[in-house]
Structure 1
Amino acid sequence: MIKHNKGVRDFFKNDYPKLYLLSGSQIPTDINLKDKSRIGYYWNVLAITWFAINQLEDTPQHPYKTIIVEHCINHVTIKDIANKYKRCAAWGGHRKNEALKKFAETFRQEQIKNKVFPLVEFD
């Protein structure tokens, strides 16, 4: 089986928890381009992460925001999320892949729009 969205999965598994800890366990609500430090960049990446998450569709047909927040951040199983929508686990797996792809696209757009460079690459 080919691993789809491996870079995004790795981001949420490895990088997101570190960014969250570096932020003092708070979610930034703004971008600060004046702070050129490494911590300032990480703060901005975490802010972009949440800007992207909050733009994701969150409907019963496409629960992308729910999947990213509940599965990738809060570690709820895909099976439990699928059960919430009265769907099978395969449906949840497909929605997860779609959610990761949509997150990556939205994240990149937000990073460019907010001029947070260098770009995070999910490849």
Structure 2
Amino acid sequence: MIKHNKGVRDFFKNDYPKLYLLSGSQIPTDINLKDKSRMVYYWNVLAVTWLTINKLENTPQHPYKTIIVEHCINHVTINDIVNTYKHSGSWGTNRKNEALKKFAEIFKQEQIKNKVYPLLEFE
């Protein structure tokens, strides 16, 4: 299901929905390092995803958390998000790219910190 060297966009488009379904449509709040099964690894990746999302900046200048949750998970268009902040379309595209980059950086740090191996890496 999860392949290394995939982009963050692909992760949210293809892998995140599957992880969410495998979790029983629950967001895990803890990491299990005792069980080495594949299912627990997926559960841990989903937990790291939400640890990462909750560490993202969410200010009017850098609404990274809003963009990831609303656009990547809830499928709200960038234009609808941009209208909330009263900016132009290019502002939204730039913030989206920044949010995806920041997500990838923090995600890797959280995987290492929480010892969720093998590391899921984005291009």
The code of the aligned residue for 2:84 comes to K
> Which residue pairs with 1:3 in the alignment?
none
Question: 1:66: Cα distance to partner?
Answer: 0.1
The code of the aligned residue for 1:63 comes to P
The code of the aligned residue for 1:34 comes to K
> Which residue pairs with 1:67 in the alignment?
67
Paired residue secondary structure (2:90): helix
> Which residue pairs with 1:43 in the alignment?
43
Structure 1 stretches of 4+ moved >6 Å: none
**C-alpha RMSD of the superposition:** 0.7
Give the TM-score taking structure 1 as reference length.
0.95
The code of the aligned residue for 2:106 comes to T
CA deviations over 1:4-49 (Å, ceiling 9, x no partner): xx70000000000000000000000000001110000000000000
Give the TM-score taking structure 2 as reference length.
0.95
- Aligned ranges for residues 78-117 of structure 1 at < 5 Å? 78-117=78-117
Q: Alignment length, in residue pairs?
A: 118
* Identity rate, percent: 82
Question: 1:121: Cα distance to partner?
Answer: 1.2
Structure 1: tracts of 5 or more residues without a match: 1-5
Question: 1:89: Cα distance to partner?
Answer: 1.0
> Which residue pairs with 2:58 in the alignment?
58
